[in-house]
Structure 1
Amino acid sequence: MSIPRGLSDEEAAAWAKLAASVTPMEGRVRPPVKQAEPLKPVPARPARPSPKPAPPRPAPPPAPQAMQHDSGLDGHWDRRIKSGAIQPDFTLDLHGFSLDAAYDRLMSGLDQALAMDARVVLLIAGRSRPVDPADRAAKRGAIRAKILDWLAASRHENAITAIRRAHIRHGGEGALYLVLKRRR
């Protein structure tokens, strides 16, 4: 708690002027205005020892992405994907479907691919385009815009090791490779 310091000469003069302009309520008397008291010296605070620097905070974790499934692939896989030497075991084409039908087809197609022990699924969904999140398939690119979210929230999320853009001969930007985990 701080000690009241009193009024400076300027503050006391302003307060006296204000108090003189006020009419007291009926039955009350204006209190006398005190003259400004000299300012009391404020006692100096003892010097604090300089605070120790806080230990550095650990860097925040990277922002979560829709899916992070790159840990299961080694350089061999990356070279095969980039060179186009990879052959999909199963192809799923979502062209011409509404959003609801595309979701159902994706889930049933992944069920089928897993039942067949497929390792690489070629998912054809068209090129990615900016789409309003509330779009219900009124614009092109709506299915592609939803795929990563669908996969991340699906029952198949743990079965997917990696998601990569397909080689140009398999559709390039309009398709994805879903690399599935091996069954044991």
Structure 2
Amino acid sequence: MTRRRLNAEEEALWAALIRSVRPLRPQAAPVLVPDASQAVDHTPPSRPRPLPPPAPPPSSRPAPAAILDGTWERRIRGGNINPDMSIDLHGHSLSAAHARLNQALASAVMNQARVLLVVTGKPPKTAEKSGSSRRGAIRGEIGHWLETSPHAHRIASVRIAHPRHGGDGALYVILRRAK
């Protein structure tokens, strides 16, 4: 495509547009007003290459531990753990369960509880018989909810509960001590 010169009406429109634009940053490069003697390229700009997604910033929050110390491990495995608080989420909608979980975490942190028992409910029996890996909706979301919680930095570990506390239908959320 050949370049052409702007006519008087187009030059006036271009000048008005330039005057209405504000730079994103004050120290940005000055806007150049094209000279009437310069030709303007009207070819559509090529699509810019998509930028790679930015790397997540390094988290200053400690991640939940995969393995706790031996005492905690023995207590969890043997069912010798007594939750300081518990919350039952099954039967609630996703939004109500999420709100209740955040309230329970806030209450546990405020009361300096160490172990919160979260009952999510077991997967449907039909899913177990058919061999599918379908889980309940709350159980499927709870990991994400705990990771994004305002109290995520206080969570030391998340474990499946002992059968006497609900087994696969419940989780222990073990909280860090307040410093």
TM-score by length of 1: 0.56
- 1:127 maps to what in 2? 122
Equivalences for residues 137-156 of structure 1 within 5 A = 141-156=136-151
C-alpha distance 140-83 of structure 1, shift in aligned 2 (>3 A): closer
- 2:21 maps to what in 1? none
Q: Find the residue that maps to 2:142 and give its secondary structure.
A: helix
Q: Find the residue that maps to 1:107 and give its secondary structure.
A: helix
In 2, Cα distance between equivalents of 1:158 and 1:98:
26
Equivalences for residues 74-153 of structure 1 within 5 A = 74-128=69-123, 141-153=136-148
User: What stretches of structure 1 move > 2 A for 4+ residues in a row?
Assistant: none
Offset of 1:95 from its aligned partner?
A: 1.6
Are positions 1:164 and 2:178 aligned together?
no
Q: Find the residue that maps to 1:177 and give its secondary structure.
A: strand
Are positions 1:70 and 2:56 aligned together?
no
Offset of 1:127 from its aligned partner?
A: 2.2
Structure 1, unaligned stretches of length 5 or more? 1-66, 130-138
Q: What is the one-letter code of the residue matched to 1:97?
A: H
Q: Find the residue that maps to 1:88 and give its secondary structure.
A: coil
Offset of 1:72 from its aligned partner?
A: 7.1
In 2, Cα distance between equivalents of 1:124 and 1:92:
6
Number of residue pairs matched?
109
Deviates more, 1:139-148 or 1:81-90: 139-148
Identical counterparts, % of pairs: 48
Offset of 1:71 from its aligned partner?
A: 5.5
In 1, Cα distance between equivalents of 2:78 and 2:67:
19
Higher helix share: 2
Q: Find the residue that maps to 2:86 and give its secondary structure.
A: strand
Q: Find the residue that maps to 1:158 and give its secondary structure.
A: helix
Q: Find the residue that maps to 1:77 and give its secondary structure.
A: helix
Q: Could you say what the CA RMSD is over the residues aligned between the two structures, in angstroms?
A: 2.1
Q: Find the residue that maps to 2:174 and give its secondary structure.
A: strand
Offset of 1:114 from its aligned partner?
A: 0.8
- 2:173 maps to what in 1? 178
Q: What is the one-letter code of the residue matched to 1:161?
A: A
TM-score by length of 2: 0.57
Task: From the CA coordinates, give the structure whose radius of gyration is larger.
Answer: 1
Q: What is the one-letter code of the residue matched to 2:87?
A: L
C-alpha distance 170-146 of structure 1, shift in aligned 2 (>3 A): same
